[in-house]
Structure 1
């Protein structure tokens, strides 16, 4: 899941929790009412997600259908790697679903193609819908040319999970907002141990797995970027981007405070298992990891902001956006289900299942999200992280571009090439991709 901004560039989300906007209101929708007129209708909802997401979606649909007996919802789950390619084809063919989970990097091209229904008229006619309950950027980052095309169900900022037991054992202060790259590395050397002298680490400080969601924040923190989306200028080979990528690789290769890529590939180090068994001190993840870690009753952990880099503090924010497909034959039924998916009941359910961070102020302030009896203690770090949130470049080719970066980083993570050499090759391939006509 990636975020999208109205100007087609990387969104710097700013402080999410300040300011309110009043939503327009009037009468309820009547066009294509279907169920409202008494004849039952079926709408299709297309989304991606694993078992936890599917279970939650099925429960949401069950509750929605009970509250709206004239509307049936057919869920269509599609694996994420295929989703970004499949959605534009379905919508262009006219055989698409009625409501979709939207990979936000597709928003500019789908909006330009007229494939998504603007939400402004729906909102203006529905007095029950509270746009002012959404965090401020949610009301603007999904706009194109002033029109609102989607709203987030939730956000997924990546933060630093840390094992409190390991920090206590080493007499270290727990991570906080003062942490920098240097602070993290210094603490990492104290937390990493080869206990039996066999040359293999028995404990590691960091749990980066060589995934783009893990190293992209370090690029931003160094002042770099992959692609400037508005101008489509390739920046992955800039000195700042190289610095961020090399720093990430050096955590494995030079500092030796993160498992090597080959250790991870061979399965010698399993990040989740090591973290839960006091063998891994820190891991990068979103709130979706909370449900897994809370299964381990003896695990004492908490969360903190990612460390500040040499230029800025930056974190990846990963929202799940919901949109209505233009041309749906059941616009009111689609709108009702859309409202349900982005509404408070859905947000509370997702929060209690530890699925990311709700986009609604009323829910994020409630015990459904912040529960003092359930770890982590500092759940509001996920909220604070949004102040520094950024998104992937909002370009239709992002899936292909990110694949180039992922492949290009493999020799860097294995110590077979430096980031400067690898990014030169990445930049060349990305420029070729971006030189093709933009798919709409």
Structure 2
């Protein structure tokens, strides 16, 4: 029995020696990396095509893709990291950056992207900011979007209302929404997500910024949205929902495109993802309104997501970094954008008129969203407590729109909740 164990041990040592000398076949094959993503349908097919191209052009690497729901990937990654089976690359929401920065296996890309061949400055500023936590860069941009006004041209014409213009104010917006509202037809000027989720908050934040306010203090220690600017922005929503009754409150956050398509809503403030669903109406896209006399401009909000690289050993890490670099290079960005209709993540591609024309040809209005990326001046704060802050703010906004709270009191209460969460270190 002892002799058998000794033979087994010797064989194991011999196998290791042979492998170290190149005799164990696996070391001579391509380096395999696993990429987790949430792409489906057209996006999924285009992404698979890019991976196939990469594998063909790089025979020393084999990229294996695995679908993983975007909403669940953070928990899956954390579980995989604990089990020693982290992916090599994962598509992860930009709002998770503070949480991602705490994972030891995440590769800090700061040293990589400073190399000139990355042309890091070609990514939109909001994308770069959303990937940065302190002195770390936790990912490389994978997706970018923004909000703008999408409006039904026929409803505007029928109501005798001039369509939205690039210099519209929130007073103009409110006035148009009131004229587009017809209770006898069940028709509303504007629809807003009113479930208290991040989508609700998203619609409020550009208004807050345009009014001159912000979410947190510069050091991210205190909530500052309960301000004169915060009240000013929320009062507009109160006036439209409670006083004018021109605002349809979508408490399920599921009815926007459907009601827009059926002619029951004159305007949505939404992103490029909804355009392909508006097949039954003649629509157009315009930038967000601003506040009269404010220096905040026509700001919008972007939700950049990232490709995050994990350290599974030097060889796999380098292969993963190289793949992400290739995937986010201008040529592949252009191919992915034209194939899917997603906005290009690089400024150079977004300025290419041929790309804009093709995007608009495929889905009218997409080019306006590309150009609207120039109106993204701020991003949500990269703090771990942001989900709690968003929840408190979202509930405050909904309470005001339902007529249950006044703007100042609701924002004060939400700010107190946010401060308490920020104090938890």
Q: Does the TM-score normalized on the shorter chain lie above 0.5?
A: yes
Asked if the contact 1:118/1:147 (under 8 Å) is kept, the reply is yes
Partner SS, residue 354 of structure 2: coil
1:1-20 pair list within 5 angstroms: none
Map of 1:222 onto structure 2: 211
Map of 1:345 onto structure 2: 332
Asked if the contact 1:224/1:244 (under 8 Å) is kept, the reply is no
Map of 1:249 onto structure 2: 238
Partner SS, residue 315 of structure 1: coil
Deviating more after overlay: 416-425 vs 116-125: 116-125
Asked if the contact 1:286/1:356 (under 8 Å) is kept, the reply is no
Map of 2:405 onto structure 1: 417
Aligned residues: 389
Greater C-alpha Rg? 2
> How far apart are 1:183 and its partner, in Å?
0.6
Q: 1:377 to 1:123 in 2, by over 3 A?
A: closer
Q: Structure 1 residue 181 and structure 2 residue 170: aligned?
A: yes
Q: 1:292 to 1:212 in 2, by over 3 A?
A: same
1:251-270 pair list within 5 angstroms: 251-261=240-250, 264-265=251-252, 270=255
> How far apart are 1:140 and its partner, in Å?
6.4
Looking at structure 2, the residues matched to 145 and 402 of structure 1 have their Cα atoms a distance apart, in angstroms, of 21
**Residue 72 (structure 1) aligned to one of 63, 71, 96:** 63
Asked if the contact 1:155/1:359 (under 8 Å) is kept, the reply is no
1:211-360 pair list within 5 angstroms: 211-228=200-217, 230-261=219-250, 264-265=251-252, 270-293=255-278, 296=279, 298-310=280-292, 311=294, 312=296, 313-328=298-313, 330-343=316-329, 344-360=331-347
Partner SS, residue 182 of structure 1: helix
Instruction: Write 1 or 2 for the structure with the bigger share of helix.
Output: 2
**Residue 379 (structure 1) aligned to one of 350, 354, 367:** 367
Asked if the contact 1:167/1:191 (under 8 Å) is kept, the reply is yes
Deviating more after overlay: 244-253 vs 130-139: 130-139
**Residue 103 (structure 1) aligned to one of 88, 93, 100:** 93
User: Residue deviations 1:212-265, cap 9 Å, x none?
Assistant: 21122222222223323623211232232133223223322222111135xx44
Map of 1:370 onto structure 2: 357
Instruction: Name the TM-score, length of structure 2 as normaliser.
Output: 0.79
Deviating more after overlay: 245-254 vs 373-382: 373-382
Partner SS, residue 235 of structure 2: helix
Looking at structure 2, the residues matched to 93 and 164 of structure 1 have their Cα atoms a distance apart, in angstroms, of 54
Map of 1:204 onto structure 2: 188
Deviating more after overlay: 422-431 vs 99-108: 99-108
Q: 1:92 to 1:421 in 2, by over 3 A?
A: farther
Map of 1:20 onto structure 2: none
Instruction: Name the TM-score, length of structure 1 as normaliser.
Output: 0.76
Q: Tell me how large the CA RMSD over aligned residues is.
A: 3.3
Structure with the larger RCO, 1 or 2 (CA within 8 Å, 6+ apart)? 1
Looking at structure 2, the residues matched to 287 and 356 of structure 1 have their Cα atoms a distance apart, in angstroms, of 8
Looking at structure 2, the residues matched to 86 and 432 of structure 1 have their Cα atoms a distance apart, in angstroms, of 29
Stretches of structure 1 that go unaligned for 5 or more consecutive residues are: 1-36
Looking at structure 2, the residues matched to 214 and 50 of structure 1 have their Cα atoms a distance apart, in angstroms, of 26
Q: Structure 1 residue 428 and structure 2 residue 419: aligned?
A: no
Stretches of structure 2 that go unaligned for 5 or more consecutive residues are: 1-26, 195-199
Looking at structure 2, the residues matched to 382 and 185 of structure 1 have their Cα atoms a distance apart, in angstroms, of 25
Deviating more after overlay: 347-356 vs 333-342: 347-356
Map of 1:30 onto structure 2: none
Asked if the contact 2:180/2:188 (under 8 Å) is kept, the reply is yes
Looking at structure 2, the residues matched to 368 and 418 of structure 1 have their Cα atoms a distance apart, in angstroms, of 46
> How far apart are 1:109 and its partner, in Å?
5.7
